[in-house]
Structure 1
């Protein structure tokens, strides 16, 4: 029924509905990033325009459009506090694209919508460069090309499928040039370099930690990074600690990471042992400046376009936020020590606690100091005593610890005894500081899971973790993960907390416990290939391609030279194609046009639509008997048109044409 109604619509209404559908496909991937009012307004305008097209009603006057534009400007400024910048600009482009459909009257208006649609389509890649987004935009591109071709078919009611075939052929012809430009056009890494308006992080880690943040993050199964270890034997899961921000300032409720200059520019004094672990990291965009690295690398990762430095607490930080997918190699030593080996004034901030905060935890520390079995035993004894309390004191590791008050350490140790890793690490570090032991919180990711399809270890947002580091005389900073005492499976076998599965996931899991995991692993492997071969195709990989083509020391100049030669060859190929295509046109008509041109030069004006018999009569009337050979030749040409094999005698007629005595 719906198909019949659409087929019965006038061409203008049908074409308008098709274009509105393409615009909806362009906007759809950005619904999650656009303000709610922008999505609602765009959908409302598109539905309004579609209704007007189906009912053949007139379009709204300019005052309606001006009012909607004013509302858009006010709402955009209220949302972003500016009309400039990436996010505000994308919002305006989407609304302007929708509003432009309200004045879609002439072909010129359609062309404006087409090219505005092409631009809006590209803005989808500002927020996501995933494979799904690319597929959706490929469909949108084919839709826009189909609409553009259809707009150049003004006569009749050509089917959209005919325009789609032409558009597909155009895209297919342009694909080799597109591929050559992608492979060889010199670029500055990373590929998708776009300015970020603000640090609206998606990483899940932050340079601040208020109790409860990472617990909420455990619900997110999004991918933070992919790791590929060299060799066949990756490190055990219990050693997979990927360091992020290190938090040492505490105000009683919130932990923050100080700026490097606030601690002074002292050396990390990293000391390593054993063999290093070599690996490659593919880091997802986080809009944060830090890089993930397994504890602990000696050398900074080398990333084209970024300058990487290490802080005194072994965190690797880039000179700008990571707004694009980046890939880098690193070399880490799981067995390491860092920091000073003797107590200095630089360690004093790591024992600081707000005055009067968590009094029961401070009292617990005083009891531990007064315990004769611990007195004088040193830092390891106090650490073991705290861990033993966590193991035997009825503490539990949970996703829903409830809302904590201001005295978070007191509530954890004496009241709730439940928490996620941030609650446990925070309470442990507060207790260590109350014991006058320098301690700090390290956030990052721990564990991960192996994708059996492509062999990559996947770090998810749900793998976000918080652990502690304590300082010991003669040793320096030492990792202590108090969560392992409460829930050993979180660090060893890595039993991740997870919410209840949804209806469909639960149904698939009921039919086959491993089907859901296998499907996800296969899809993530496909996405990983997209990331490695498309999104992470950087300048260095371009130069590696030239090396495989025989260049000893390729440079950007070599890239430009190869690309230029390809463009020249493509141009010559296009010219050859054009000549061949012209040769495929009707040779009989070309020969008739040559005769008409010669008669024009002789002074006889012949109508463009005149057949050979009429041309022969006109030539005889103008030139008399001298036109007899031409007269006979034209009649023979006309007879050849209707012969049983029309092209058989054209070669002879073409040769005779060159020897005709033309009248003057």
Structure 2
């Protein structure tokens, strides 16, 4: 059916008027297509480029057909498009099974199914495929924005589903939305109960990620100049809340979160040493009381845990976590068996006063003295010069502490600057470039040049990457550490002490380490425009509030594990809860909800008035006697039917006469009642009906 609205209205009317003028089939189809496009939108960043392009083309084609009223494509066209989709999926993923290939296929099937959307049966298939595509978004992200977007998509699909069952007329979509909202509201308590009490048993609750590409800027390889790019990334890397007596938090200059340790150097690149990362217990010595804290590590798709230096006892993670068991390498780095693909909650204890490594020089330490042949000759000459100056002052070789102090003093007084854009050095003499040419650098430039200088002076040294500092969120009291807090520092070996942290960046820019003053890139056009209307303080408060909300989402929804379920049961009075207690509580809760729903429906269902109830009882009794009746049969029509069928039978003639008179009196009461006597007349008719029920009826036994 085509629209009868005049062309002028379509050309000059508002979009709302144009949509209202469309036939119902076209309007409903456009709404369904819009909902499908919405739930497919997050797949853009996870699927191959052709997937969303092809799907968008199919949806636009279907929208054009709906607007023009043109016929849908035939089976051969659909078969050809399906073949292309399957072939492209195979070419991209080399398989038709698995997470990514499966999501690609279901997206394509949903888009193709819209091209044969003719009957309600086709609409049901589209709706349920839409629910599957909606759920598939959570394979890649369970963040709060995705959850909110999918709730909107869910409401859109429910609205379309309700609208499809409104067959008469052209009901407004708002009416269907209100009905869908009520349905969702009624189902919300059951959803909450299932979320809280349905047992979470690994590995059921989790889909292992197939994409192991790193999301973190940290790596086992560091090219001098690349860490500076992380200053542009303000995304959250981890959150931490300290559990210290009196609420006192560690000093700012001690917040070093340890990541990969790099010791192999080829002149411009630092790499992790497989030997130092061997899973052997390090020689860790601690003193003082540990600092207890809870950390939430964002998905990095890496295996290392960037914990606060230094953790001696094994950190606690939720039972059944997808990362597997934890282990500590000889370089003091905690790692998991599998990459971190979900938000991971870690409870740990760190000792800020620690030392590790051998106390005496060993053959294994020689690899921390190695430099590429012929690399950075001027830096090695600088090291010899500093050693010679100290030897001249003391008359003997200086100890390691004095060599470190001399190098740091040279950094402080040599005119070196801390900058965000030092550039990537292409030469293999990166340390020479920093010490003598550019005299500027980011943290990895300074740490690398310092480590090369130490090795040139015969002091074992290596690079440690991780995070330093953070910002305290005033809303939830969590410290937020971002990728822009990525940092690189050095560790040098000192006889009798072991490996000691030395952060040479503090010598060039003390505020970077002690006061967390970060270098940031100039704001873009959008940020500058927003800054013209909203002051910086307000933006910071809004960001803090959002991150606090997102943190709660991660803790209570994403990180709601079996241990948290059992803790909830303990708070409810269970002494030693297990999964059987969860099942019992789940059954009791669902039964209670079902009972409440039953009571509510009975209490809110419309009640018949006394006359209607009495008439209903009469129709049921007549039906049992062989005289069927419907809702449209009036009391007078039933009276005539009783007289026609039973008056001729002498045995039932008195009953027929009395029943006929009673039905006529029922009609009179309904349409011509006496003023003020309705209740009395209804009572009399009810008594007469009870007398009639006790008589002998045809084709039935007396009651």
Normalised to the residue count of structure 2, the TM-score between the two structures is 0.88
Could you tell me whether the CA contact under 8 Å between 1:192 and 1:324 is conserved in 2? no
In structure 1, C-alpha distance between the alignment counterparts of 2:154 and 2:317, rounded to whole Å: 33
**Farther off after superposition, 6-15 or 286-295:** 286-295
DSSP-derived class of the 2:247 partner? coil
What is the CA–CA distance in structure 2 between the aligned matches of 1:185 and 1:572, rounded to whole Å?
Answer: 20
Report the alpha carbon displacement of residue 58 of structure 1 after superposing the two structures with TM.
Answer: 1.5
Structure 1 residues 328, 618: CA separation in 2 closer, same or farther (over 3 Å shift)? same
Query: 2:544 matched to which residue of 1?
Result: 521
- Contact 1:379–1:437 (CA under 8 A) maintained in structure 2: yes
Query: Which of 461, 467, 476 matches 2:489?
Result: 467
Q: Which residue of 2 aligns with 1:404?
A: 425
Shift of 1:519: 1.5
Task: Give the conservation status (yes or no) of the 8 Å contact 2:281–2:328.
Answer: no
Local SS of the residue matching 1:519: helix
Q: Secondary structure at the match of 1:514?
A: helix
The answer as to 2:150 corresponding to 1:137 is yes
In structure 2, the CA distance between the partners of 1:549 and 1:464, relative to structure 1 (3 Å rule), is: same
Contact 1:194 1:323 in 2 (8 A): no
**Which SS does the other structure have where 1:499 is aligned?**
coil
The reply to whether residue 562 of structure 1 matches residue 585 of structure 2 is: yes
Q: Secondary structure at the match of 1:229?
A: strand
Cα distance between partner residues in 2 of 1:172 and 1:611: 40
Change (3 A) 1:634 1:289: farther
Work out whether 1:501 is the aligned partner of 2:523: yes
1-side partners of 2:87 and 2:64: how far apart?
A: 27
Q: Contact 1:401–1:420 at 8 Å: present in 2 too?
A: yes
Any conservation in 1 of the 2:279–2:328 contact (CA below 8 Å)?
no
Residue of structure 1 aligned with 2:662, choices 633, 650, 655: 633
Paired residue for 1:546, among 558, 566, 569? 569
- 5 Å-filtered alignment, 1:392-471, equals 392-407=413-428, 408-471=430-493
Compute the RMSD of aligned alpha carbons. Answer: 2.6
Quick one: structure 1 residues 596 and 243, their matched pair in 2 at CA, closer, same or farther if it must change by over 3 Å?
same
Q: How far is the alpha carbon of 1:589 from its aligned partner?
A: 5.5
C-alpha change, 1:616 and 1:62, in structure 2 (3 Å) is same
- SS of alignment partner, residue 167 of structure 1: helix
Choose the corresponding residue for 1:352, options 370, 379, 385.
370
User: What's the counterpart of residue 398 of structure 2?
Assistant: 377
CA distance in 2, matches of 1:141, 1:267: 51
Q: 1:301 aligns with which of 315, 324, 342?
A: 315
Q: How does 1:91-170 map to 2 (within 5 A)?
A: 91-170=104-183
Which range moves more in the overlay, 650-659 or 499-508?
Answer: 650-659
Q: Distance in 2 between matches of 1:369 and 1:640?
A: 119
Structure-2 change in CA distance of 1:646 and 1:586 (3 Å): farther
In structure 2, how many angstroms separate the alpha carbons of the residues matched to 1:601 and 1:134? Answer: 55
| Alignment partners' CA distance in 2, 1:652 and 1:314 | 94
Task: State the SS of the aligned residue for 1:412.
Answer: helix
Q: Mean Cα displacement is larger for which, 109-118 or 623-632?
A: 623-632
How far apart are 1:51 and its partner, in Å? 1.5
TM-superposed deviation, 1:222 = 0.4
SS for the counterpart of 2:183 is: helix
CA distance in 2, matches of 1:464, 1:191: 34
Aligned partner of 1:333 in structure 2 is 351
Cα distance between partner residues in 2 of 1:440 and 1:234: 29
SS in 1 for 2:656: helix
The answer for the alignment partner of 1:239 in structure 2 is 254
- How far apart are the structure 2 equivalents of 1:271 and 1:611? 96
Q: Secondary structure at the match of 2:138?
A: helix
- Which of 316, 321, 324 is 2:339 aligned to? 321
Question: What's the offset of the Cα at 1:162?
Answer: 1.3
Distance across 2 between alignment mates of 1:49 and 1:215: 48
SS of equivalent to 2:232: coil
Partner of 1:201: 214
Larger radius of gyration: 2
Contact 2:226 2:424 in 1 (8 A): no
Partner in structure 2 of residue 390 of structure 1:
411
Unaligned runs of 5+ in 2: 1-13, 648-652, 699-703
Displacement after TM superposition at 1:317 (Å):
1.1
2:286 is the counterpart of 1:252: no
Moved more, 4-13 or 186-195: 186-195
Corresponding residue pairs, total: 663
Alpha-carbon distance, 1:530 to partner: 1.8
Alignment correspondent of 1:284: 298
The answer on whether the counterparts of 1:268 and 1:338 sit within 8 Å (CA) in structure 2 is yes
More deviation in 171-180 or 278-287?
278-287
Q: Helix, strand or coil for the counterpart of 2:465?
A: strand
- 1:605 positional shift: 4.4
Answer with 70-79 or 240-249: which moved more.
70-79
1:191 touches 1:535 (CA, 8 Å); kept in 2? Answer: no
Sort the Cα spacing of 1:468 and 1:165 in 2 relative to 1 into closer, same or farther, 3 A: same
Is structure 2 residue 226 aligned with structure 1 residue 213?
yes
Residue deviations 1:11-62 (CA, integer Å, cap 9, x gap): 1111111111111221223333333333322222222211111111122233
If the length of structure 1 is used for normalisation, what is the TM-score? 0.93
Deviation of the 1:406 alpha carbon: 4.1
